Amino acid sequence: MPSYELYAVRIFVRDWKRALDFYSQTLGMPVRMANEDLGWAELGIGGAPLALERAQPGAPESHGLLGRFIGVSLRVDDVAASYAELRARGVEFVGAPEKQPWGGTLAHFRDPDGNVLTLFGRS
């Protein structure tokens, strides 16, 4: 059997530069590498990088890759504090943080392309 290692979690974006600014400046994620010509950036957030990939304009399959719940959960120390700070920076949340029956707290937010990510914490 092959040995697997998660390389990156890809998020498709329409406006690559705007997305890079959002993730690096607004969310404060460090940029490991960015290549505007390729439309590719890797954000060092611990573990595998979060990668921003420019969706190809006019490609039919690109349409379905944008503006959806993408299943990325970002663990933070304090969901309520992170929620308040990011809202103050203009991040659009789907709703307030909610305590889950299994003990965690979740808060879903949108990036500039409408992709929905989740803040996750145990508090």
Q: Does any domain span residue 91?
A: yes
Q: Are residues 37 and 83 in the same domain?
A: no
Cβ(82)–Cβ(120) below 8 Å: no
Residues 11-62: tens digit of each pLDDT: 999 999 999 999 999 999 999 999 999 999 999 998 889 999 999 887 888 7
Q: Are residues 44 and 77 in the same domain?
A: no
pLDDT above 90: residue 122:
no
The predicted pLDDT at position 123 comes to: 63
Q: Does any domain span residue 62?
A: no
Cβ(83)–Cβ(119) below 8 Å: yes
Residues 49-100: tens digit of each pLDDT: 999 999 988 788 877 899 999 999 999 999 999 999 999 999 999 999 999 9
The predicted pLDDT at position 14 comes to: 94
Q: Are residues 72 and 47 in the same domain?
A: no
Q: Are residues 82 and 101 in the same domain?
A: yes
CA separation for the pair 104, 15 (Å, rounded): 33
The predicted pLDDT at position 63 comes to: 76
Domains identified in the chain, total number: 2
Last residue of a domain, one of 28, 57, 86: 57
Domain containing residue 52: CATH number: 3.10.180.10
Q: Does any domain span residue 20?
A: yes
The predicted pLDDT at position 93 comes to: 98
pTM: 0.91
CA separation for the pair 120, 123 (Å, rounded): 9
The whole domain housing 110 covers: 67-123
The predicted pLDDT at position 20 comes to: 98
